[in-house]
């Protein structure tokens, strides 16, 4: 059995990690920390976990307590992993960070998009970007994995096949995406209470130089980075050539991401050939469904599967690619386990559901 530690296990992604690890035949959770919930039983905070974890108590985070663990999953607020990861490397076999601290390869982007400089920039080159369908070859044996954000996962899965095929313009890409409220985390916020979200649909993180989002949503450079790299991590072209206008929306649902991406083709393609290109790119992928059906978040709920489709609008000439995922599974915890499986040399799909819950 692989010994698993989950640091930050009291949040939604941590609870999802606990749920998925419970079904993993090779994982044994030996430590779950939760700074704000230390001393609390996991079953009291999340009764859904009671059957599998009747006696699990959230502990305080202590790097020494992780010594000898095979995998440490980190589900921490932005900035916290930068201080912790240098202490964990060497103590544990693999660090799988679900936060944004090691996703960007260029340290100079962190002050611009996250408002503060990176405190461990030397580790950015060591981190492997954990989107297996696009960058699988870098994952085996990886000591540090940076799990993509939920929005970048959906956008990159939709756009990367067309970028890599060289059939679309790299500039003026539009990504319009909506997320369920769980993407905002477990902590209470004025804009994510039931009364604020129910019967509402709103955009946030708008680009345009406002005080709350001076350059737009912080996932923008991550999307640009992911779709501008080949499978070996090399650049498809100059990063300056890739530009994405990303607008996220908050939808009144618990789970899910629906990303609708617009890009202009440079080749003579129609809906049939676009769908064929997308299907060929993901042939044999256990967690990808490509279909003529319009993807829905409900179809992905609880699963690690992404649903995609593509169309070319004959009137405007634009290519439209749509991707739906569960933001807590393929967009976070499920993808983290998928990466850990590859890093450990296990079968990639081990312990991960491919079918959604319906209704």
The catalytic site residues sit at: 150
d(CA 170, CA 200): 33
Say whether 233 sits in a helix, a strand or coil.
coil
* CA contacts within 13 A on the Cβ side of 133: 30
Question: Is the distance from CB of 265 to CB of 319 less than 8 angstroms?
Answer: yes
d(CA 146, CA 97): 5
> Which whole-number Å values give the CA distances from 103 to 55, 72, 252, in the listed order?
34, 17, 28
Question: Is the distance from CB of 294 to CB of 119 less than 8 angstroms?
Answer: no
Question: Is the distance from CB of 338 to CB of 332 less than 8 angstroms?
Answer: no
Question: Is the distance from CB of 349 to CB of 33 less than 8 angstroms?
Answer: no
Q: Any residues with CB less than 8 A from the CB of 309 and at least 6 apart, and which?
A: 275, 278, 290, 291, 292, 293, 294, 295, 321, 322
d(CA 195, CA 335): 31
Residue from 74, 81, 70 nearest 32 by CA: 74
Q: Is 137 exposed, middle or buried (0-12, 13-18, 19+ CB in 10 A)?
A: exposed
Q: What is the CA angle 258-45-328, rounded to 5?
A: 15
d(CA 81, CA 100): 9
> Which whole-number Å values give the CA distances from 338 to 168, 189, 193, 234, 287, in the listed order?
29, 31, 31, 23, 10
């Amino acid at each position: 059995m692989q010994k698993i530690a989950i640091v930050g296990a009291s949040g939604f992604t941590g609870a999802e990690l606990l749920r998925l690890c419970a079904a993993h035949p090779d994982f044994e959770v030996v430590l779950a920390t939760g700074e704000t919930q230390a001393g609390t039983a996991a079953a009291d905070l999340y009764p859904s976990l009671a059957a599998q974890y009747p006696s699990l108590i959230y502990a305080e985070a202590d790097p020494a307590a992780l010594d000898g663990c095979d995998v440490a999953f980190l589900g921490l607020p932005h900035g916290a992993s930068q201080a912790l990861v240098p202490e964990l490397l060497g103590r544990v076999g693999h660090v799988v960070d679900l936060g944004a601290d090691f996703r960007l390869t260029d340290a100079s982007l962190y002050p611009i998009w996250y408002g503060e400089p990176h405190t461990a920039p030397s580790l950015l080159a060591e981190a492997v970007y954990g989107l297996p369908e696009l960058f699988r070859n870098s994952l085996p044996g990886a000591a540090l994995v940076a799990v993509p954000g939920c929005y970048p996962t959906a956008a990159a899965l939709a756009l990367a096949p067309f970028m890599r095929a060289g059939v679309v313009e790299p500039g003026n890409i539009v990504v319009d995406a909506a997320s369920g409220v769980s993407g905002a985390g477990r902590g209470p916020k004025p804009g994510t209470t039931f009364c604020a979200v129910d019967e509402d649909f709103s955009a946030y993180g708008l680009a345009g130089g406002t005080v709350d989002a001076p350059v737009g949503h912080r996932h923008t450079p991550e999307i640009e980075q992911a779709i501008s790299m080949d499978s070996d991590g090399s650049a498809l072209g100059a990063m300056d050539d890739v530009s994405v206008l990303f607008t996220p929306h908050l939808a009144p649902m618990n789970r899910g991401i629906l990303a609708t991406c617009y890009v202009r083709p440079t080749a003579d393609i129609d809906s049939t050939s676009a769908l064929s290109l997308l299907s060929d790119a993901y042939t044999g992928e256990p967690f990808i469904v490509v279909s003529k059906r319009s993807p829905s978040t409900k179809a992905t709920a609880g699963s690690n599967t992404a649903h995609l489709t593509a169309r070319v609008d004959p009137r405007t000439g634009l290519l439209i690619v749509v991707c739906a995922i569960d933001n807590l599974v393929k967009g976070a915890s499920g993808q983290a386990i998928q990466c850990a499986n590859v890093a450990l040399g296990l079968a990639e799909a081990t312990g991960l559901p491919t079918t959604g819950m319906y209704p």
